Amino acid sequence: MTDPIAGDPAGMGTLEEAVSACRRAAEEAPLVGRLHHRLGEALSSLERWEEAAAAFRRAAELEPDVPAPHRRLGEVLSRLGRWEEAAAAFQRALSRDRAATGWDPAPGPPADLRDLYLDLMKQCLTFMLWNAKDGSLLEMRGGPVYALAIGVKRLLRLVRPLDPAMRAGGHDWPALAHTMVGTRRLDNVRDCIEDVLRNRVPGDLIEAGVWRGGVTIFMRAVLRAHGVRDRTVWVADSFAGLPRPDRARYPEDHHYDLSGFKSLAVPVDEVRANFARYGLLDGQVAFVEGWFRDSLPAAPIERLAVMRLDADLYESTMDALTNLYPRLSPGGYVIVDDYWNSPPCHRAVNDYRRQHGIEEPIVIVDWSGVTWQKKKA
């Protein structure tokens, strides 16, 4: 039997191929719950919700005492509008959490208020609370043909509203929203943070590449919701956009020059102001400013529990992994935003894992992001 997402993922190919690999593994070992869980994650990434629900339900049946498949089943059932079934699944997940770990999230607010707060934060940060009616940023670049295409898209948007599903899936560059990652990737951030809190994995949280700061604001909100006072959220960015590719040293970045996109250059003061809008700019938030090759080696970070990379390029991704992964505690999480969406990022992650003998399984988050958990000591 082969674990389709373990080891070097370079051969996984497209998401459809990943789904096929997960399905084959689940068929080869039909009584292994985690394989059905991974199939559910892969199907979720393609928004095949009914099939994903069936896979998560099977995983929950095979591993009834494990909280994760019950929680993911609840999330998928919510997307399908099957609210009573979703509520029952969430309740099973909560009871398993408490039974398995004895973890009590106090002194934070009660679970229902915590969920309401974090869901509202998620809807505000993505502008989904207003059905993503802020629209998308589209810059006039790439010559007259590109400019004409963008002009046509803008004209169409005047008469046809933006599909909120595009924003929920993280498929556009929002005009006003504070994050472009979509709701599923924010759910993944919450899942990872709550897991390290539950299992007392030591360390802070960081995102390398923050744009307007939305994900790091959400990280701070999760800590606030759980009454956590001894962890810091590190906000790392150039705050000047992306670097011009160094084609001599990093040929993988040759065709991915994003340095001219002004909308990606969000000043640090604007990001600070965004934290303040939500009442979350405090002593548990720290900023690391500069290109990653310069800023991260000297950053005064001792240990990390969750590190999220949204660096797009090979060079930036490799700089972030090189300087942050050694500080990640065993049991902590790596989240990579652009693994499926950016070939240079995909290559950098694969190269780093191969060079350092990292064999922990990669788990699909959605059409763009992945995560893995560092091997526990």
The token duo for 80 is 């399908």
Flag whether 130 is in a domain.
Answer: no
Whether 207 and 352 map to the same domain: the answer is yes
Q: Report if pTM > 0.85.
A: no
Q: Does residue 146 lie in a domain region?
A: no
Q: What is the pLDDT of residue 317?
A: 96
For residues 49 and 322, which has the higher predicted lDDT (pLDDT)? 322
The last residue of one of the domains, among 80, 101, 122, is 101
Mean pLDDT for 5-22 is 61
Q: What is the pLDDT of residues 310-363, one digit of tens each?
A: 998 999 999 999 999 999 999 999 999 999 988 999 999 999 999 999 999 999
Say yes or no: 84 and 220 in one domain: no
Whether residues 182 and 94 fall in one domain: no
Provide the 3-class DSSP secondary structure of residue 305: strand
Contact 212, 271 (CB under 8 A): yes
For residue 8, pLDDT over 50 is answered with no
The answer to the question of residue 220 being in a domain is yes
187 plus 310 within the same structural domain: yes
Last residue of a domain, one of 72, 101, 130: 101
Domain count across the chain: 2
- Residue 369's domain comprises 178-373
Give alpha helix (H) positions in 278-341.
292-295, 314-324
* Averaged pLDDT, 268-280: 95
Name the percent of the chain lying above pLDDT 90.
51
* pLDDT for residue 218: 98
Give the pLDDT confidence score for residue 5 in this predicted structure.
Answer: 39
The mean predicted confidence, pLDDT, of the chain is 85
Domain boundary residue, one of 101, 120, 136: 101
b/e per residue 150-178 (b: at least 16 CB within 10 A): eeeeeeeeeeeebeeeebbbbebebeebb
Q: Both 205 and 87 in a single domain?
A: no
CA dihedral of 7, 13, 15, 21, whole degrees rounded to 10: -60
Could you tell me if 242 and 313 are in contact, meaning their C-beta atoms sit under 8 angstroms apart? yes
Asked if residue 325 is part of any domain, the answer here is yes
20 in a structural domain: yes
Query: Edge-to-edge, what's the strand order for the sheet holding 363-364?
Result: 285-289, 233-237, 204-208, 304-309, 328-336, 370-373, 363-364
- The rounded distance, in Å, linking the Cα atoms of 203 and 334 is 13
Judge if 244 and 97 occupy the same domain. Answer: no
**Which two three-digit tokens encode residue 191?**
């899942």
Whether residue 124 is contained in a domain is answered as no
Q: Residue 227: give its domain's CATH number.
A: 3.40.50.150
Q: Residues 208, 350: one domain?
A: yes
Determine, yes or no, domain membership for 120: no
Q: DSSP 3-state assignment of 208?
A: strand
Sequence-ordered list of residues with C-beta below 8 angstroms from that of 222, at least 6 positions apart, any chain:
118, 189, 190, 193, 194
Report if residue 158 sits inside a domain: no
